[in-house]
Structure 1
Amino acid sequence: MSRASLAERWQLFAGAFLSVTLGVALVQSSLLLLISAANFDPPAGLSEAERMQFSDNTAAVVSMLGLVLGIATFLAGFIISSTFAFTVAQRRRDLALLRLVGGSRGQVRRLLLGEAVLLGGLGAAAGVPLGLVVMSVQTWLMRRLGFVPPGFEGEWRQWILAVSFGTGIVLAVAGAMVAARRAARVRPLEALRETGEASRVMTATRWLAGLIFFGGALALMIVAPHGGPDGGAAMAMNVPLPAAVAAAALSPLVVPLLGRLLPTGSGVAGALARANLWDARRRSSSIAAPLIVLVALVVGTSAAGASFTASGIDELRRQTHADLVVETTGPAEAAILAAPGVASASTETSVPVEVTFGSGEDTESVVESALVIDPAAYVVAHSTGSLAALRGRAVAAGPGGDVPTRGTVRVKLPGADLGEVPVVAALPAMMSGGANLLLPPGLVPADVLAEAPTRAFVTLDPGADAAATRAALSRVGVVSGLDEWLQADAKSRTEISDKIMLVVMGLGGLYALIGVVNSVVIGAAARRREFAEARITGLTRAQVIRSALLESSAVTVAGLLLGAVAAAGAILAAVNSTAAVTGHGTLTLPWPLIGAVCAVALVVTGATSLITSWSATRRAPITLLAARE
């Protein structure tokens, strides 16, 4: 019966099959690439500094692939579960008839779970070869974004076949389980009459899920301002997912109301669309759910990230006192101070370091960035805490965090092991990040500094000829104004995280759009008789299609609004976190992206609704009403 049901109603399961296939492909590809990246040896011929940079890039790749793996699994499970719930709701009369002819509750559950197992197996069978294509695309993308060197390739492992088939079946069965239990509980006569339990959209499970995820999102919003620069940003940018699930779970209460408040016109098509919005709450909420995820994930995450970046720039601008910034290579302090019109300069040379701290099983080694500085000049240029103790054989914890603020750490430079060094000072962590470790002059060998990148924050004498000073400094290195340098520095600091976010948002957007198209197609496939009845009563085919388009557009707008509410949770957490760290709450909204998301959602749902409603009304209405199905 499960096989026959899948074959007969393949249109209802096409979206779930696609979600399983894509989920298996992404999980397989990300897992293989993650293991390959973790075991990838640095290319031969790299210097010690380049090896440290390679290790840092590898950590970023592993983090990105782990994030993609988690997001793909979550979105696949979310889309599949909502698809199965909607599919079962569309078949409640068939399932009721099965119960009336003697089928037990257990048989109904086994029928639906059997469909899920078959769907999961078929999706995994298609997902395994697709995963190889996805792995090639992901590898190309990681090379293009600079995460991995040109020679990196994902390695196939035989055991991934078991993981892929297990993933497909588990995702499908987990997504169908709740729908199967609910379908088995509904009394057959109630399902035929659409009364009692069968007519309820807000079930106890939906209420519980909505409230639990709402509580999770609220907890992240409350705790984020206390997490510091890194923890606050991570928690704020994790708010959209639980907020979106909560909004989607509670959407049957809100979407019909929002949809009816939106203008749909005063004609027959508009009146029919408004009536359908209220009566078909399950269908409306199923279409709105992936839209809520789309807006929450893409808009909420990008807006929070942009707010943190803008806050870091503002914080640096307030704390940095300089007229010009000079970027060069190697020691340059003497040449910069000798330029006419220069009053002072804080020269800072960047070197990679491997820092080891902790003891026993808690020992940890990380590759970080360090600055070799003149402590007195650094404090003046950056209005930061005291570094009077930073001299001789000692280090200070920088504004980038991630290293202990007291005790001792083991510091290894490219070609030089400094051994155990005491941490004698610590600067407050900044929203903009920065160097993780500060080193005094004389601690780093001259050959390490010779090829290291250096920047100097230059203050000019009052009345100095800025043009002449800038021309003199240009012979030392690249000269920028402070604001110009702040923008470029912020872009370079967030380059890796922006690339990771681009991949994650692209994945989320793709899955959400698949879910939207799937819900619209399922809804239209089950409405052939409804459309035929409307035409028999006197409506034209054009009026029926226009009514379906107005209904889908209203649901789309309602979903976008609920998604905006979920995204607002991340934005509010970002504003509060920036205020807690810097003393100034920062809000930056990516309006072009918001406009693009809204436009794409309206176009996709509108086009899908037009195509499916046109297809569903091709046959003469009398033939549909007379047909047995």
Structure 2
Amino acid sequence: MFRMSFGTFRERWELFAGAVLSVAVGVALVQASLLVLAATGEPRIPEGLSRQAEDRIREGFVGAATVMGMTAFLALFLAVFIVGSTFGFTVDQRRRDLALLRLTGGSRGQVRMLLLSESLLLGIVGSALGVPIGLIAKHVQTWLLVEIGLVPDGFTAPWRLWAVIVAGVAGVGVALTGVFAASLRAARIRPLDALRETGKAARVMTASRWLLGLSSTACTVAMVVWAHGANLIGAMMAALGISMVGAVAMSTLSPLVVPFAAWLCGLLAPGSLAIASLRDGVRRGAATASPLIVLVSLLLGLAGTFGSLADAGGEEAKRSLNAHLVVTSKGEQAERLPGIEGVAVASRQNAVDITITAGDRRGVHSGIIAVDAADYMHTHTLVPASGDLNALIGDTVFVGPAQHSEWIGAGEVLSVDAEGKPLSLTVVGGLPETLEPGENFLVPRQILPRQVWANAPTETVIQVVAEQNPGVVAERIERAGIGEVHTVQDWARARAGRNQAGNVQILSVLMGLAGLYALMAVVNSVVIAGTERRREFAVFRVTGLSRPQVVRTAVAEATAVAIIGLVLGCAVAAAGLAGIGGSVRAAIGVTVVHVPWALLTVVAAGSLAVVAVTSGITAFLTTRERPVSLITTKE
């Protein structure tokens, strides 16, 4: 049986090439991600850096580990999905071959063993190719992480044999998992039905496909509903799950959409051969649309989720202030603001360079803000989760939103090192968790030496006197040379932009790798669909169509399928955004949804171009032979 599998693998290599490449790329991404992930667990901090810079590097390593973990997870998901859909389509293209095997004495078990042997061979070859590709992928991932600033220059990921073994085993497992369902389905079809393309062989929506499609749809709807009541972290994870499970649902149920879409297209172009081919080739259209659905749902879902969170953070920041202006300056310069004509309240927030240690935990060096509690309460609307800001006087400290998850309780005494001056501060309350990480701690400015906050980066939130024009007051502050002046709306928009810039850095890694992987599957599906239509194209030509007309027909059909995939992928992404929008509304009282229109335009135009070019080239190459030589044979 293995010898027969090897023979089929060698003779029909064009059917297996895409699946082998998919396994190889999946193994390479998993291997590279594991190597980089292991390296981020042992961060090497360059010497001579400030404590804040060290904290930023440590946070960058945590971010890099998160990105690599998500990359490995997405790579496995895409590999299983792509290999499964590719091999399933390949099995459908070989129905006659398998039927002849059954008619010559082969049992159902032998058919299953043949397909599983082919998948095992596919997994071994793909894993073997993936190991050297993984070395290249590791260097690319490392370069990307350095370029976007998550890890410092000189970061390297050493070779680890266990990562290669895990990735190789995962590659073989992906191949067997992706092929298992197709082998069961192929063995259940009666051989005469397969030869005549009747009965179960002609049925695209099988019972298992209905079960998977409907269950995935129900799971997607449940995640959308659950996300409305979840916190932001839960909603973000739900959005990722919706993108993946929803893509499976839409891909599985896409054969129901293809005939309807063909009917709609037929109203616009009645009598079109491309539309007739689309209506007749439901299985082929569904197989081509599936990777496009995954591509669009993942890219737009991730970009929309991160963008919505960034915009929501900016909206929350704007709503958290009861003020007109925000001035950025140094601490000493900000001391002049209360004396500016028209300034009613100037809440100075100095980002001080001190260390706070809670018990045996690692010291916190960043996100520590020195404030005057009275001014802070006048200009900020965020209600403490515990305690009272009026108590933030003397040797006290307030826990900020970023430390909310640490559960530092009221009454706990924290150790402080303020440039050599030791302090003991008692926790008197804490602020609630916010969409943005926010500050770690708030401390009274009065207890800190002046030199600690005099040169510290400072944001001053200003309330303007009622009868004064905020624009006029802003001009006075600028003329005084104190610092940069922004309206609260502009300040919040810039803050959201900075957060979005960080998200884009992460997305550039995730979307780049996942997008290229899924796009490769799109090309593979189009090529398989085209190369198996030699006889069909020959029939077109002997009935009077020229070779260019056949190529144009194939391109038109493939483009229509691509549009179907784009629409279904957008539907999945919209479901994810609906979930994240509901969660944001529950958190801040307003719905904030970011639709990545620019990315949608690029993905749509790029996908249509790739599908059109690939289908055109494939149709051109498969029509090189004389049609008469093919019309009398059955592939």
Whole-angstrom CA distance in 2 between matches of 1:227 and 1:367:
31
**CA spacing shift, 1:446–1:225, aligned 2, 3 Å:** farther
1:539 corresponding residue in structure 2: 545
In 2, are the aligned partners of 1:236 and 1:571 still within 8 Å (CA)? yes
2:398 corresponding residue in structure 1: 396
**CA spacing shift, 1:537–1:222, aligned 2, 3 Å:** same
Tell me the TM-score normalised to structure 2 length: 0.91
SS at match of 2:405: coil
**CA spacing shift, 1:408–1:252, aligned 2, 3 Å:** farther
The aligned amino acid for 1:471 is: E
1:331-350 equivalence runs, <5 A = 332-350=333-351
1:107 corresponding residue in structure 2: 110
**CA spacing shift, 1:468–1:11, aligned 2, 3 Å:** closer
1:288 corresponding residue in structure 2: 289
Offset, 1:299? 1.8
Whole-angstrom CA distance in 1 between matches of 2:267 and 2:559:
9
2:311 corresponding residue in structure 1: 310
1:342-491 equivalence runs, <5 A = 342-351=343-352, 369-385=367-383, 387-400=389-402, 401-404=404-407, 406-407=409-410, 411=414, 423-442=427-446, 449=453, 452-461=456-465, 462-463=467-468, 465-466=472-473, 468-474=475-481, 476-491=482-497
Whole-angstrom CA distance in 2 between matches of 1:217 and 1:355:
44
What are the Cα deviations for residues 508-548 of structure 1, in whole angstroms up to 9, with x where unaligned? 22122111111111111111111112222333323322222
What are the Cα deviations for residues 449-474 of structure 1, in whole angstroms up to 9, with x where unaligned? 45542211123344474365223553
Offset, 1:188? 1.2
Whole-angstrom CA distance in 2 between matches of 1:394 and 1:234:
37
In 2, are the aligned partners of 1:248 and 1:285 still within 8 Å (CA)? yes
Tell me which of 583, 588, 591 is aligned to 2:589.
583
1:568 corresponding residue in structure 2: 574
Of 302-311 and 500-509, deviating more is 302-311
SS at match of 1:388: helix
The aligned amino acid for 2:119 is: A
**CA spacing shift, 1:366–1:179, aligned 2, 3 Å:** farther
Whole-angstrom CA distance in 2 between matches of 1:71 and 1:242:
12
**CA spacing shift, 1:514–1:328, aligned 2, 3 Å:** same
Tell me which of 118, 132, 147 is aligned to 2:121.
118
Gap regions ≥5 residues in structure 1: none
Of 485-494 and 559-568, deviating more is 485-494
Offset, 1:19? 0.9
Tell me which of 73, 94, 99 is aligned to 2:97.
94
In 2, are the aligned partners of 1:397 and 1:427 still within 8 Å (CA)? yes
In 1, are the aligned partners of 2:334 and 2:458 still within 8 Å (CA)? no
SS at match of 1:538: coil
Whole-angstrom CA distance in 2 between matches of 1:21 and 1:411:
52
In 2, are the aligned partners of 1:397 and 1:403 still within 8 Å (CA)? no
Offset, 1:263? 5.0
**CA spacing shift, 1:467–1:394, aligned 2, 3 Å:** closer
In 1, are the aligned partners of 2:551 and 2:620 still within 8 Å (CA)? yes
Offset, 1:432? 4.5
What are the Cα deviations for residues 146-178 of structure 1, in whole angstroms up to 9, with x where unaligned? 111112111111333322321221111111111
Offset, 1:67? 0.9
Of 446-455 and 272-281, deviating more is 446-455
In 2, are the aligned partners of 1:355 and 1:409 still within 8 Å (CA)? no
SS at match of 2:335: helix
Whole-angstrom CA distance in 2 between matches of 1:52 and 1:443:
24
Whole-angstrom CA distance in 2 between matches of 1:60 and 1:355:
23
Tell me the TM-score normalised to structure 1 length: 0.91
Whole-angstrom CA distance in 2 between matches of 1:110 and 1:176:
11
**CA spacing shift, 1:242–1:445, aligned 2, 3 Å:** farther
Whole-angstrom CA distance in 1 between matches of 2:348 and 2:82:
54
Tell me which of 43, 46, 70 is aligned to 1:40.
43
**CA spacing shift, 1:446–1:264, aligned 2, 3 Å:** farther
1:155 corresponding residue in structure 2: 158
Offset, 1:434? 2.2
What are the Cα deviations for residues 226-266 of structure 1, in whole angstroms up to 9, with x where unaligned? 22344334433542221111111111111221233125864
In 2, are the aligned partners of 1:306 and 1:588 still within 8 Å (CA)? yes
In 2, are the aligned partners of 1:27 and 1:73 still within 8 Å (CA)? yes
SS at match of 1:201: coil
Percent identity (aligned): 41
In 2, are the aligned partners of 1:15 and 1:518 still within 8 Å (CA)? yes
**CA spacing shift, 1:446–1:131, aligned 2, 3 Å:** farther
Whole-angstrom CA distance in 2 between matches of 1:358 and 1:288:
56
Whole-angstrom CA distance in 1 between matches of 2:477 and 2:241:
45
What are the Cα deviations for residues 473-509 of structure 1, in whole angstroms up to 9, with x where unaligned? 53x3333333332222222233332211222122222
In 1, are the aligned partners of 2:416 and 2:423 still within 8 Å (CA)? no
SS at match of 1:479: strand
Offset, 1:438? 2.7
1:171 corresponding residue in structure 2: 174
Whole-angstrom CA distance in 2 between matches of 1:90 and 1:446:
78
1:279 corresponding residue in structure 2: 280
SS at match of 1:494: helix
Whole-angstrom CA distance in 1 between matches of 2:222 and 2:416:
41
Tell me which of 248, 251, 267 is aligned to 2:251.
248
2:507 corresponding residue in structure 1: 501
Of 450-459 and 545-554, deviating more is 450-459
Of 188-197 and 335-344, deviating more is 335-344
SS at match of 2:390: coil
Q: Given the alignment of the two structures, is residue 23 of structure 1 paired with residue 21 of structure 2, yes or no?
A: no
2:131 corresponding residue in structure 1: 128
Offset, 1:36? 0.7
Q: Given the alignment of the two structures, is residue 521 of structure 1 paired with residue 524 of structure 2, yes or no?
A: no
Tell me which of 1, 8, 33 is aligned to 1:5.
8
Offset, 1:421? 5.9
Whole-angstrom CA distance in 1 between matches of 2:475 and 2:151:
43
In 1, are the aligned partners of 2:52 and 2:365 still within 8 Å (CA)? no
1:559 corresponding residue in structure 2: 565
Offset, 1:445? 6.2
What are the Cα deviations for residues 6-40 of structure 1, in whole angstroms up to 9, with x where unaligned? 11111111211111111111111111011111112
In 2, are the aligned partners of 1:221 and 1:569 still within 8 Å (CA)? yes
Q: Over aligned residue pairs, what C-alpha RMSD do you find?
A: 2.8
What are the Cα deviations for residues 65-106 of structure 1, in whole angstroms up to 9, with x where unaligned? 111111111111111110000000000110111111112222
Whole-angstrom CA distance in 2 between matches of 1:102 and 1:244:
39
Whole-angstrom CA distance in 2 between matches of 1:190 and 1:608:
32
Of 103-112 and 397-406, deviating more is 397-406
Q: Given the alignment of the two structures, is residue 56 of structure 1 paired with residue 54 of structure 2, yes or no?
A: no
SS at match of 1:348: strand
Whole-angstrom CA distance in 1 between matches of 2:196 and 2:104:
17
Whole-angstrom CA distance in 1 between matches of 2:352 and 2:105:
76
In 2, are the aligned partners of 1:323 and 1:481 still within 8 Å (CA)? yes
The aligned amino acid for 1:591 is: W
Matched pairs, number: 623
1:176-191 equivalence runs, <5 A = 176-191=179-194
Whole-angstrom CA distance in 2 between matches of 1:591 and 1:283:
30
1:216 corresponding residue in structure 2: 219
